[in-house]
Amino acid sequence: MPLMSVPARYQIPDLSVHLTDELIMQHISPGSRVIDLGCGDGRLMLRLQTEMKCVVQGVDVEHANIFAVIARGLPAIEADLNQGLIDIPDDSFDYAVLSQTLQQVQKPKLLLLEMLRVSRRALVVVPNFGHWRVRYEVLRRGRTPITKTLPYEWHETPNLHFMSMRDFRELMDSIGLRIVKETPIIKGRACEQLIAANLRADSAFYLLERDESRKLRSGPSNSGESREKP
């Protein structure tokens, strides 16, 4: 008996390293103090130091990554982002960077608040699980989408949280963080403006800062505002 053909799984397009680095570097002032959370092998840190004369600090949980960063002559500390940034004093940096990692930590809200405690601004890149193809995959086929960089089935994926752009905006409002800039990313291209971004964007870049007019809070918003439409 011939095997039944199985429709191809939808894969969220992967951001190129070049695109991610350029987006982040465009929003960092030369000579700034930058902490790179989940810094990997220190690739971005090296560019920030050599091209923009930034003072950099890396944080990663993997031994191999720490050794790779140190081999580049850059500072790095081994720490688990799930524990927050308890060893880093307030306002130690100008920018905190977190790229394609937020969905993997156990307490993303805590980490975002910690980022804006230790720095004036935060640069975050997240996948958008509100993309129409993701919705189609779940609704019509009953399948969980996977990514090219994280080609894991649901039972082994490091992704713990599946957020859309709308979810991210609402979280920022609920904890008193201000979105200075939101840049949707579609098919590997950053778009300054994109109609129906929550449906069409594969990922999104955010520049965040503390809203000084509001007190940062960890509880849900009490504004009672209606939820945004897709």
CA nearest 96: which of 143, 177, 11, 28?
28
Cβ-proximal residues to 120 (8 Å cutoff; 6+ apart), any chain:
91, 93, 94, 95, 209, 210
The pLDDT value recorded for residue 73 is 96
How far apart are the C-alpha atoms of 85 and 89, rounded to whole Å? 9
Q: What is the β-pairing status of strands 76-78 and 55-60?
A: parallel
How far apart are the C-alpha atoms of 143 and 112, rounded to whole Å? 30
CA nearest 124: which of 89, 153, 154, 81?
81
The sheet carrying 177-186 orders its strands as 76-78, 55-60, 33-37, 93-99, 119-127, 203-210, 177-186, 189-190
The pLDDT value recorded for residue 166 is 87
The pLDDT value recorded for residue 137 is 64
Cβ-proximal residues to 188 (8 Å cutoff; 6+ apart), any chain:
13, 15, 16, 19
Mean pLDDT by 10 residues, the chain (230 residues): 46 62 94 96 96 97 94 94 89 93 80 94 84 61 58 54 80 91 82 70 87 59 41
The pLDDT value recorded for residue 193 is 76
Buried b (16+ CB within 10 A) or exposed e, 120-129: ebbbbbbbbb
What does pTM read for this prediction?
A: 0.75
**Domains located in the chain, CATH noted:** 11-210 (3.40.50.150)
How many angstroms from the chain centroid is the CA of residue 168? 10
